[in-house]
Structure 1
Amino acid sequence: MGFIAAQKNDEILEPIIKNSGFWPDIDIADARIAMRIDGTVTSPRLKMALIAAMASANQDLRKYKAKQIGLGFSDLIEVDSDTIDGQNILVGHYIRAVYCLAKANLTERYRDFDSTGDGHNKADQLSDPIEDLNRDARWAIRDLIGSARATVELL
């Protein structure tokens, strides 16, 4: 088993990723801590994954955004919602969707990091967590728009 040196999270100076205005900005350092992403994932790679995740979530939520802007809300935080621990629940759903999409993206590329047989075996073991992360992202988006998490149809 190899050793991988990683920087401590408090040693990494990472910026905020500015979003489109309606959606909340994303703090790279917060994402790193919340999703347990260590220093082996470089800051530029994490930023790239978060930007891709933000673009994906924003695209999935474009109709919701248009509806809310039509109702007079210029920012997601203004949309009426309960709060938990001082945070607007809708903002929490958005951030969770972005973090899960980014972590799934990074995890899918695990083979890039170690192309040995052991690395491939580890990557194969990660398929369930990737599916779980993508599911959690879909659920967060559905929770944000107030839609059911599953559609059940009797045949």
Structure 2
Amino acid sequence: MSLTGKPALTTAAAITNDGFWPDLALGDLLTKYRIPAEYADDVIKTGLMMAILRVNDQLEAVKAAIVALEFTTLAGYASVHHAREVGGINALQLQYEHAVFARAKAGLLKQFNTLSRKPEAENAAKESDDTEQYWLDESQGCIKAFFDLIVPASNTLGKANARVVLL
């Protein structure tokens, strides 16, 4: 058992990606992004898979540009063109993980209010629109970083939602 009460093998499971983008582990999402332990494993897995799909779709032009340079994986491209590392992990790999995990957390936190639990006030921060927007913006900022580096003419926004206010 892990500290969350979930079997270690369940939370350590990797989600196989498309072969270009790296595989991501459920356990990393749980530990690095503090997903509430009350979620069933399938809820977390579905949230992570949906985030992978959404981020991969947004990064399709980045993937196409890298493949056009004759690289078959992000890791292959990163090792040649972007060797910068943080904590022994390639910076592009970290950007991708953060984009996906932040998107997954944003989606999962909005589901928290459907669980049986103590009074709503205790979980207000987990469920607030500001919290969701923060994680969506974190994800979109990482996506923008990929575009700025690999497809700079794309004019990709760094925020998940742009707002216009009339004065």
Measure the CA separation in 2 of the matches of 1:122 and 1:135: 21
1:120: how far off?
A: 7.4
Pick which of 101-110 and 37-46 moved more: 37-46
Q: % of aligned pairs identical? A: 24
Structure 1, gaps ≥5 residues long: 1-6
* 1:12/1:25 CA distance change after superposition, 3 Å: same
Aligned length: 145
Q: How big is the shift at 1:123?
A: 4.6
Distance 1:127 1:114, change over 3 A: farther
Structure 2: which amino acid aligns with 1:149?
G
Aligned to 1:54: 52
Deviations 1:94-114 (A, max 9, x none): 100110010000111122114
- What does residue 119 of structure 1 align with? 120
Consecutive aligned runs of 4 or more in structure 1 exceeding 4 Å deviation: none
Give secondary structure in 2 for the equivalent of 1:78: helix
TM-score if structure 1 supplies the norm length?
Answer: 0.82
Contact 1:111 1:120 in 2 (8 A): no
What is the CA distance between 1:128 and its match in structure 2?
A: 1.1
Alignment partner for residue 95 of structure 1, among 94, 97, 103? 97
Q: Which letter does structure 2 place at the counterpart of 1:119?
A: E
Amino acid across the alignment from 1:103: K
Q: CA deviation at 1:78?
A: 1.4
CA contact (8 A) 1:31 1:99 kept: yes
Unaligned stretches of 5+ in structure 2? Answer: 163-167
RMSD: 2.5
**Counterparts in 2 of 1:6-155, with a 5 A limit?**
8-9=3-4, 11-14=7-10, 15-79=13-77, 80-81=81-82, 82-114=84-116, 118-119=119-120, 122-123=123-124, 126-146=128-148, 149=158
